Chains A and B, each alone.
Chain A
């Protein structure tokens, strides 16, 4: 009757699947995220094909800011994967540097997004103006929430969560890998959002 329970394979790989639990878990979660954003993209396509007119993103949205944001997010993906590699090299200081940069990129992304939103509010370009503006706010807003969620996780792993490195380094490295998978997915969604919303011509 031990009060402490050891769940198997939360650190090592199960031989027949070759995976530890959290990795399978996060991929399943990402599969559901694919369906979530897939539904939004299919709504976009359906509403666009059914519409008689459609705004051109680059005329009413600030595509230059969005391009900067793309660079920021891609950069954060690079630093994220570098932080994981640093742990594999047993270098906690370097991990903290790269993870810190990742969180900073996240903040930069949200600040730029905030500037963009503020300009839209100022000009009265709200979701009730057109289907295009509605889908722009819904998709970028939902994506922004995902960025915030990722930053909370990354911030935890950079701060209090990193104590685990001293006791269970393998498990901590796994956590960074899993957090990274999520973060890269958020980047991946943006890679599609950017041209879809900001660059495609209207009709």
Chain B
């Protein structure tokens, strides 16, 4: 990428400097790659936190080999994990994976790189805003990472930061405390998301190429559009709540602190009069739509990969579009199903149970349409397709195991147990992250001009699939046995845990095995940059507009702004000849005589 940086100044005066080209670039593709690399680093970091936690759970109280001494006496006295450090790892694993890893990868990287290409635009609508949203995200990430090194370490009240715990833990009125830095970091990340989502919506609405009507838009762009609306409208309440919690921590106010608290035997001195539940409401008002922010772009990627690799139009394209819009809308009215155990009354509980059951309908429609798309296809089992195929049952397990959590009666048993961990990790880890891997393998040739190794890719896939399930399937059993999710020793002292504690070793082995198989991906990623098979502009024989660009796409993307003549997935149309089973969106009608003129 950065090969021809020397001697530039003398030869081309209008050529931007290296810094403007690769660091403070306004090119959506460079920004997309910046988002992608940063978020992959954070994903790996968040995963490392988890692998340390799993050691503590598998072998409670035993010194962590190698790393134990290196992390310092405060975190690891004698090489054994301190409970406070375990809590930091837990809180920061969730925060990093969601806000610094998956969302920036799904929306920041894939959205930025692909949306302008798929709508046939030269760049995002606001390139400078785009650059600043990346750098605001970067600062947020730095603040979060730096919080590990302040006195008493990073935030340790869970990724949900429930009050009053989050306010009374490490309560010094200094910004250099873990929880305070968490809040400041979140304000940066939320601001970045807001700028990014405005950009994506305006790009899709305003910059669609001639002929690219709404119902000719690739499903990936629809998913990004709905996702951006969720980010735009659900994140600000958390920003407000974050500011209020900052006030509680720094200015001593009592937004989330009720009167009459007694902490460690001492009455809490504060005006009181706040509501701890208010934080939960505002937090989940974002954090439930956030689940769909995580899953919708994944569904978009899977839809593209499946259509391309089955060589068939997607089954029920318009149903997919409508279902994702309804999904987005309903995701705003289900949040309090996270709060059944807060003493919620029956009327409001009935309301949220009903909406939660309702929202499973569009999810099932999307999943069903994707599965039916496989029917009768001549499937190419490429690496991206394997990941996309695995997404379907994995997300299915994750979604279906959510239903008992959405009903208050069963949730009372399962709340805050490992069952919950198993459920949402099936949605996000072998669900979303598999889809993101599918996307990386699928679009890598467009970004770099080379294909990733299929052999290494298949090792990566099968290893990940086996170990993902080794990690998360036993959690359902542990959870149903009543094992709590927050015990730093796994809950050794409790009788009801005894017969399921053994699973912790199995999960530990699964987690480390999963880490081992990610090495195949990392090696593949870098090896293919130089050694991967060189490809032409449209190696997968795909139909959407991003494959109509030179490879890698230059600044400005298209040699000529394309016209869109047809729908996004015109594969294997009746009457098409045997040499070419696809009709790209950019090909005029006279080339594709056999194809129908207009699809809905």
Contact = CB atoms under 8 A, between A and B. Distances in A.
A–B in direct contact per CB < 8 Å: yes
23 contacts: A3-B555, A5-B123, A17-B205, A21-B125, A24-B205, A25-B198, A25-B202, A28-B232, A32-B194, A35-B234, A36-B236, A40-B244, A43-B244, A47-B255, A47-B275, A127-B251, A127-B253, A128-B254, A128-B271, A131-B255, A137-B253, A138-B247, A138-B255
Interface residues of A, number: 44
A10 B309 CA distance: 38
Contacts of B260: none
A175 to B, nearest CB: 13
Given A7-B122, A24-B205, A43-B282, A32 B252 contact: no
Interface residues of B, number: 47
B123 A21 contact: no
B147 to A, nearest CB: 23
A108 to B, nearest CB: 26
Interface of A: 1-3, 5-10, 14, 17, 19, 21-22, 24-25, 28-29, 31-33, 35-40, 43, 46-47, 50-51, 126-131, 133-135, 137-138, 142
Contacts of A8: 121, 206-207
Contact of B236 (A2, A7, A32): A32
Nearest to B27: A5
Given A5-B555, A128-B253, 19 more contacts: A1-B555, A2-B556, A5-B122, A5-B127, A10-B125, A14-B206, A19-B206, A21-B125, A22-B126, A32-B232, A37-B240, A38-B237, A39-B237, A40-B244, A51-B273, A127-B252, A130-B273, A134-B251, A138-B253
Interface in B382-439: none
A31 B349 CA distance: 29
Interface in B251-290: 251-255, 270-271, 273-275, 278, 282, 285
A38 B125 CA distance: 28
Interface of B: 14-16, 121-123, 125-127, 129, 194, 197-199, 201-202, 205-207, 232-237, 239-241, 243-244, 247, 251-255, 270-271, 273-275, 278, 282, 285, 554-556
Contacts of B129: 25
Given A32-B233, A128-B271, A46 B122 contact: no
A135 B556 CA distance: 48
B207 A134 contact: no
User: What are the nearest 9 A-B pairs in CB distance?
Assistant: A134-B253, A128-B252, A39-B237, A36-B236, A39-B240, A127-B253, A35-B236, A127-B251, A131-B273
B247 A127 contact: yes
A70 B188 CA distance: 31
B202 A28 contact: yes
A35 B273 CA distance: 24
A68 B303 CA distance: 58
B570 to A, nearest CB: 23
Contacts of B285: 39
Nearest to B213: A16
A90 B383 CA distance: 61
Given A7-B122, A25-B126, A35 B237 contact: yes
B563 to A, nearest CB: 14
B251 A131 contact: no
B243 A138 contact: yes
A3 B14 CA distance: 8
A40 B240 CA distance: 6
A21 B516 CA distance: 47
B207 A9 contact: yes
A50 B277 CA distance: 12
A46 B282 CA distance: 12
Contacts of B556: 1-3, 5
Contacts of A33: 236
Contact of B125 (A7, A43, A128): A7
Contacts of B235: 32
Given A43-B240, A128-B253, A7 B275 contact: no
Nearest to B126: A25
A28 B122 contact: no
A7 B123 contact: yes
Contacts of A35: 233-234, 236-237
Nearest to A24: B202
Contacts of B232: 28, 31-32
